[in-house]
A and B are shown apart, each in its own frame.
Chain A
Amino acid sequence: MAEEKKQSNKINRRDALKGFATLPVLGAFGYGMYKKWNAERLKKHSITNELGLDFSAESTFQPIAADGKTLRLGIIGYGIRGRQLMQAAGFAKPELIDEWKKGAQQNSNDRRYQDFLEQEHLNITINGVCDLFDVFADDAMRAAANVNREGTNGKMNPTAKRYRRYTDLLQADDIDAVIIATPDHWHAQMAIDAAHAGKHIYVEKGLTRTVDEAFALRKAIKETGVIMQLGHQGRQTDSYNKAREIIEKNVLGKISLIEVCTNRNDPNGAWVYDIHPEGNPSTIDWAQFIEPTNPHPFSLERFFRWRCWWDYGTGLGGDLLTHEYDAINQVLKLGIPHSAVASGGVYFYKDGREVPDVFQAVFEYPERDLTFMYSASLSSEYFRGKVMMGHDAAMEMENVLTVYPDRRSTRYKEQLEAGILDPEKPMISYIPGQSQVDAVTSATEQYFAKRGLLYTYIQGKRFDTTHLHIKEWLECIRQGKQPSCDIDQGFQEAITAHMATIAYRENRKVFWDAENEKIV
């Protein structure tokens, strides 16, 4: 019996064969893995190493200097953008905080409250507010007082004074710098007056409503030496810096065509903003509103939806082309184009507006051998993105960067033939903060988020680019440096946008006489 058991416990040849029958599968698996790994290593090696790109180097977070001076700010204009700028600077209405708190309770993906609390304190106080609409001015006062970022039951610390005229705010001794977020027709005059009053300036885009104003503003900034930042927060987008690196390494080859676009499809995105129920001639200082532009009888539509009229706004050219242009300009240093043509019309929003809702502009840069093309629709969200087309590769530049090799590239001919590169597949993709999932609310916000205009990612953490843009400006004031979107960059942006607008409105090709600095 014992003998028999021993016999059956012994592993015989048959057992060994059956036991190890599937082992060769592992050999095949290992061989496959090795081949795959080797192909990927080769691919990685041949692309990033050969191109000398190092994407592992992420931008780092620089906290503001602890010993820096507390800066005292004034805010001029507390409409939609003014509110966003104040929030980005750390000040929000208590009612809004209540709303965010509620949102976070209902939806764990709603990070507005958490993000706002975590946003770095910029060491500033808001000492003056100015808005021509009483309700907005009152809101701004309450936001300025909410230094502890609390809801309606929190402890407020009122520091700001309301000014009915911006010139009085500029004369105040307890204000070092101003944020100007008014309609475009006031930008230049306010910024010029601020410069002469020795106040540093953060001004929204488009820089000016007219060409002459752009020259006058540049002169004022240069003469007074105040620190000015133009509100193109895309300057803070991490992927644009990587894009610059890609361009500097000539990954794309000779770039001959750049295409950028705007695609929106909701009334808010088309500037049909809400008309506030409390807006009326006694709550709005209409006379001051129209002071620097053509006179017009009181109009709620014109006050709240000013972007739709040339008297106050700059249309798609000044409002949205400028964002796309500035993104490209910071990467390629294009400067002012040699010529511009433009076309379009009011094709969808037949609400009495003057500015087109479909708009195309084509700029030529003969010295750079390239065309820069913008096309926009406010009635279709079909996404096209910013694309730089080079002989060797094309790059899509949003918050995510994607580079596709060109099928007929000379530089990558060998790799394409060897199958290491595939024109259908990106040879480089840079995805900052790819692990973030988030609920973003409105269509307009999604539009901006996709374009890298709302958030950027530093070391995997999400940052509001507007916050970083304001922070950069404040740090430059403290350290006497020039910010990334200074008056020279702003001047290029303004002239480029004006060339397109003039080309459209006068229905002609417009040229830039660089020698005499004149649009002809």
Chain B
Amino acid sequence: MKENNLSNRQLLVLVIARVLMGWYCLYEGMVKVMNPNWSSFAYLNDSQGWFAGIFKAMASNPGLVSVVDFLNEWGLVAIGLGLILGLLTRVATISGVVLISLYCLSHPSLIEANYMLPSSETAMWVGKNLIFVFLLLILLLFPTGHIIGLDRLLFKKKN
């Protein structure tokens, strides 16, 4: 089986990075799941920038808010598990890129933006979430789940 063109060191660093990012997503998801009062309502309503109108409209629809809540809570948990275990790694990584890009769109790191809720750290236009998206894209381009991860067993037949 051809594993990859990665050296052992490259592989090691990529796998550790994947696990750490998974850890972060899993934690973010778990604290939301465990807090019965958590809702995306305030975050959506606190949106600023070009797409603020769309997110605020979502916030004004209670049915939609509960869908967004569910997708956030369990989405983050699933992405986290996927990255840590290397399970359906590609799906987990792409989902992570989409979800966290939405955070970036709703809370863009505009210099003049003044968010009510404590949000991710930003260095002017570059915020933590934006960096996170690109780290996930690196994982997408240099996949490791099929080498170190459950994908290795899951996709064994195709190899």
Q: Which chain A residues have a beta carbon within 8 Å of chain B's beta carbons? A: 8-9, 11, 15-16, 18-23, 25-26, 29, 33, 37, 108, 434-437
Contact = CB atoms under 8 A, between A and B. Distances in A.
A22 B149 contact: yes
Closest 3 CB pairs of A and B: A435-B42, A19-B153, A19-B152
B156 A437 contact: no
A37 B30 CA distance: 11
Contact of A19 (B46, B81, B150): B150
Contact of B147 (A9, A18, A20): A18
A436 B23 CA distance: 31
17 contacts: A8-B159, A11-B153, A15-B153, A18-B147, A18-B148, A19-B86, A19-B150, A19-B152, A19-B153, A23-B85, A25-B23, A25-B84, A29-B27, A435-B41, A435-B45, A436-B45, A437-B116
B9 interface: no
Interface in B13-37: 15, 19, 22-23, 26-27, 30, 34
A29 B86 contact: no
A11 B42 contact: no
Given A25-B23, A33-B30, A20 B1 contact: no
Interface residues of B, number: 31
A22 B19 contact: yes
B45 to A, nearest CB: 5
Given A9-B157, A26-B85, A33-B30, A18 B42 contact: no
A8 B152 CA distance: 12
B46 A437 contact: yes
B22 to A, nearest CB: 8
The DSSP consensus for interface residues of chain B is: helix
Contacts of B153: 11, 15-16, 19
A37 B45 contact: no
The interface residues of chain A, by DSSP majority, are classed as: helix
Interface in B32-74: 34, 39, 41-42, 45-46, 53, 56
A8 B39 CA distance: 48
Contact of B85 (A8, A22, A437): A22
A434 B37 CA distance: 11
Contact of B53 (A33, A108, A435): A108
Interface in B102-159: 116, 147-153, 156-157, 159
Given A435-B41, A435-B45, 5 more contacts: A19-B149, A22-B149, A25-B22, A29-B84, A108-B56
B138 to A, nearest CB: 18
A20 B150 contact: yes
A8 B84 contact: no
Which of B41, B84, B150, B152 has the largest count of A CB atoms less than 10 A from its CB? B152
A37 B33 CA distance: 12
Nearest to B147: A18
Contacts of B116: 437
Given A19-B152, A21-B149, A108-B53, A437 B42 contact: yes
A108 B59 CA distance: 12
B152 A22 contact: no
Contacts of A29: 23, 26-27, 84
B54 to A, nearest CB: 11
A68 to B, nearest CB: 31
A457 B121 CA distance: 30
